[in-house]
């Protein structure tokens, strides 16, 4: 084997991308939403094989490629552990009546006309306070989805409102990991970065809220009222809807605000949900466990089932039964499989610098402020598609473009803002990205079903590029700084 490493050409670097896009397109056309159940994973592995062959031809050894794959998978390990924990949390929060109580009281308070607007605002506030879109979607988001479905609103639109709000907070909160990563990669400080993002993020959120408000006025509230009454009656019959149950989600949100890492905070939330189920829902414990006469054993079996496997609370209405279903840890395994395959592809592409050569070629065409910011945004989105991870979509372009921005006289916060406006928010729109796969599984809504309605995530990169072309509040270095 030739041990002298060669630099990849643009043509070689594009081959695995073209193969992947072709295979994913075939999967979507032939299988539709079922593509995520295995076909997309195989497509990623086949494209990884093509990238591996190219890496071998360039002089890279299997040991180097394998090391890059392991490093890539390691970067997503925390996300996969959180995903498993979210599965357990959703199970125990259903079993305990926490989520049904949220749905019940939410239906009492919210009406269809303002629901989408309210859902987006609530998720924005929670995510801004916690710094985590994942935690927001896994807790408040699940409850809001249940309320929206009970109001007979399309689940893709509901998920779009939830995710739009959650990613606004994730993008603007000083507690968010991506909000800290972007300025670190660009070379500016956290609060300068956040203040500068206001120029693009607030207008984007306002447009998003206006869209959801107008959408709400199109709903027919007559049929919704009847459907809501049926859901309320079913919840009253099945659960002990005690306001004390809200102590558990309040404690979880408190831990996250106090900067307790997401994994232990969500695990504590799952365990507290199991304890609440034992205290408040003995009838549900009996139904799920199928054990009579030994409440201790029944409680253990029911809680373990809720944390690990799919459970559903049977009602006379199939729609309500579907609403009262949770998948546990096992329901997250298919998503973890997808993330693993995506990380393998990203690792192989990184090993020989195939992603880097594509991004470097893009920089050559960036001459004006608008084209430079547009190229940066395109690169971030490209990395979300290919590396399948929002952190790589921020970190790699951040390292690549930092020197270019500085040499062209721009302050680093222009780069950091662009990284967030295009890297953070678009990750959730891609089915095989860690964010897209996770949110689709947590909410039970396919990525392609909610993506068209994530208006905040779609408008954000457009807004940042538009302001750059208009030269609106573009910060430049003075002579001394330059």
Strand partners, 311: 326
CA atoms within 13 A on the CB side of 351: 30
Q: How far apart are CA 272 and CA 249, in angstroms?
A: 9
H helices of 333-389, in order, are: 333-351, 354-363, 369-386
Alpha helices in 217-257 (DSSP H): 221-238, 247-257
The pLDDT confidence band at residue 273, using thresholds 50, 70 and 90, is very high
Round to whole Å and give the CA distance between 435 and 441: 10
Who's near 206: CB < 8 A, 6+ residues apart? none
Average pLDDT score over residue span 185-192: 82
- Cα–Cα distance for residue pair 210/427, rounded to 1 Å: 23
Rounded to 5°, angle at Cα 221 from 220 and 224 = 105
* Residue 477, pLDDT score: 81
Q: For the chain, how many residues are written?
A: 482
Alpha carbon distance 209, 11 (integer Å): 43
Tokens for 39, please give them.
């076909």
Token pair listed for 142: 């699940």
More confident residue, 265 or 159: 159
CB 175 within 8 A of CB 131: yes
The span from the CA of 349 to the CA of 50, in Å, is 10
End-to-end alpha carbon distance in the chain: 47
| Whether residue 50 has pLDDT greater than 90 | yes
DSSP sequence for 381-444: HHHHHHT--HHHHHHHHHHHHHHHHHHTTB-HHHHHHHHIIIIITTGGGSTTSHHHHHHHHHHT
Nearest by Cα to 62 from 45, 49, 74: 49
Q: Is 246 strand, coil or helix?
A: helix
The alpha carbon dihedral of 389, 391, 397, 400 has a sign of negative
Given a cut of 50, whether residue 403 has pLDDT beyond it is: yes
Mean pLDDT across the stretch 389-403?
78
Asked if the model's pLDDT at residue 401 lies above 50, the reply is yes
DSSP per position, 14-45 = HHHHHHHHHHHHHHHHHHGGGGGGTHHHHHHH
Instruction: Tell me the two tokens of residue 263.
Output: 């994994």
Q: Closest Cα partner for 8 from 356, 447, 375, 478?
A: 356
Q: Using CA atoms, how far apart are residues 38 and 41, in angstroms rounded to an integer? A: 5
d(CA 65, CA 76): 17
Q: How far apart are CA 435 and CA 426, in angstroms?
A: 9
CB–CB of 141/116 below 8 Å?
A: no
Residue 476 has pLDDT above 80, yes or no: yes
Q: What is the pTM of this model?
A: 0.71
Mean of the per-residue pLDDT values of the chain? 86
Residue indicated by tokens 């990991």 = 177
Tell me the CA distances in angstroms from 25 to 18, 19, 29, 33, 475, one per residue in order: 11, 10, 6, 12, 40
Lowest mean pLDDT segment, chosen from 217-221, 292-296, 308-312, 459-463: 217-221
User: Computed over its alpha carbons, how large is the radius of gyration of the chain?
Assistant: 23
Structure-model confidence comparison of residues 387 and 212, the more confident one: 212
Q: Which two tokens stand for residue 450?
A: 């909610």
- Segment 209-261, tens digit of pLDDT: 999 999 988 876 555 555 567 778 888 888 999 899 999 989 987 887 787 88
Q: Left, alpha or beta for 231 (phi > 0: left; psi -120 to 50: alpha)? A: alpha
pLDDT in tens, 420-447: 999 999 999 998 888 898 899 889 899 9
- CA within 13 Å, CB half, 3: 1
- Range of weakest confidence among 115-129, 199-213, 411-425: 115-129
The pair phi, psi for residue 421, each rounded to 5°, is -65, -25
**Beta carbons of 130 and 259 less than 8 angstroms apart:** no
Centroid of chain to Cα 310: 22
3-state class (DSSP) for residue 250: helix
Please report, for the chain, the start and end positions of each structural domain, with discontinuous segments joined by +: 80-331
Quick one: DSSP state of residue 476? B
């Amino acid at each position: 084997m030739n041990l002298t490493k060669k630099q990849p050409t643009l043509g070689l670097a594009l081959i695995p991308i073209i193969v992947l896009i072709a295979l994913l397109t075939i999967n979507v056309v032939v299988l539709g939403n079922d593509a995520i159940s295995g076909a997309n994973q195989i497509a990623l592995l086949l494209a990884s094989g093509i990238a591996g062959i190219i890496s071998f031809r360039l002089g890279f050894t299997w040991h180097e490629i394998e090391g890059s794959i392991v490093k890539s998978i390691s970067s997503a390990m925390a996300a996969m552990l959180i995903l498993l924990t979210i599965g357990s949390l959703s199970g125990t929060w259903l079993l305990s009546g926490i989520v049904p109580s949220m749905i019940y009281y939410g239906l009492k308070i919210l009406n269809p006309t303002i629901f989408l607007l309210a859902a987006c605002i609530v998720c924005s506030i929670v995510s801004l306070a916690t710094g985590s879109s994942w935690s927001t979607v896994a807790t408040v988001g699940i409850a809001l989805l249940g309320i929206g479905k009970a109001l007979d609103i399309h689940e893709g639109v509901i998920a779009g409102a939830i995710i739009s709000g959650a990613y606004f907070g994730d993008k603007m909160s000083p507690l968010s990991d991506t909000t800290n990563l972007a300025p670190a990669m660009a070379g500016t400080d956290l609060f300068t970065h956040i203040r500068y993002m206001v120029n693009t993020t607030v207008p984007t959120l306002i447009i998003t809220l206006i869209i959801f408000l107008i959408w709400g006025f199109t709903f027919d509230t007559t049929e919704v009222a009847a459907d809501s009454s049926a859901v309320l009656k079913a919840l009253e019959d099945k659960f002990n809807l005690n306001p004390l149950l809200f102590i558990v989600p309040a404690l979880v949100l408190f831990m996250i605000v106090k900067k307790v890492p997401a994994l232990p905070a969500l695990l504590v939330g799952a365990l507290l949900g199991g304890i609440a189920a034992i205290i408040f829902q003995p009838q549900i414990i009996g139904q799920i466990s199928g054990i009579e006469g030994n409440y201790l054993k029944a409680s253990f079996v029911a809680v373990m089932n809720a944390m690990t496997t799919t459970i559903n609370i049977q009602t006379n209405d199939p729609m309500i039964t579907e609403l009262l279903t949770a998948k546990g840890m096992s329901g997250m395994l298919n998503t973890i499989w997808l993330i693993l395959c995506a990380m393998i592809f990203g690792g192989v592409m990184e090993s020989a610098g195939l992603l880097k050569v594509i991004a470097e070629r893009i920089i050559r065409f960036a001459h004006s402020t608008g084209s430079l910011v547009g190229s940066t945004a395109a690169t971030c989105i490209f990395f979300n598609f290919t590396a399948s991870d929002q952190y790589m979509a921020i970190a790699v372009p951040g390292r690549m473009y930092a020197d270019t921005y500085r040499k062209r006289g721009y302050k680093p916060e222009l780069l950091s803002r662009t990284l967030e406006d295009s890297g953070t928010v678009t990750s959730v729109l891609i089915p095989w990205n860690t964010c897209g796969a996770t949110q689709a599984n947590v909410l039970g809504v396919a990525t392609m079903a909610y993506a068209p309605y994530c208006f905040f995530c779609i408008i954000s990169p457009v807004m940042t590029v538009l302001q750059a072309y208009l030269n609106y509040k573009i910060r430049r270095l003075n002579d001394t700084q330059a």
